[in-house]
Amino acid sequence: MATCEVCGNEYDKAFEIVAAGQRHVFDCFECAVHRMAPVCEHCGCKVVGHGTEVDGRFFCCAHCARLSTGAPAADRVDTMV
């Protein structure tokens, strides 16, 4: 049994995520996202997908990054083609 560090639920199928050398325990992905996911600087939503990073600032998409930084950010899916 492990206890979720976000909601306190004790769950036999809890899982661990190690990030930046720190170990986190969650009972579900929603709790993991709540604790771990960066927040878009422009619109405030949780960045759950790839997101866009400009000068260490996180955005949910290239649109938000462009509006906030003026940088010619592009979604990575666009540049993969």
Piece in contact with Zn ion (CB under 5 A), picked from 2-10, 14-22, 48-56, 68-76: 2-10
Minimum separation from the CB atom of position 6 to Zn ion (A): 5
Considering CB under 5 A, how many residues would be counted as binding Zn ion?
A: 11
Minimum separation from the CB atom of position 12 to Zn ion (A): 13
Q: Which helix (H) or strand (E) holds 3?
A: strand 2-3
State which of residues 17, 43, 74, 77 lies at the interface with Zn ion (CB under 5 A).
43
Show Cβ contacts of residue 47 under 8 Å, excluding neighbours closer than 6 positions.
37, 38, 39, 40, 58, 59, 60
3-class DSSP assignment, residue 10: strand
Applying CB under 5 A, does 7 fall inside the site for Zn ion? yes
Applying CB under 5 A, does 65 fall inside the site for Zn ion? no
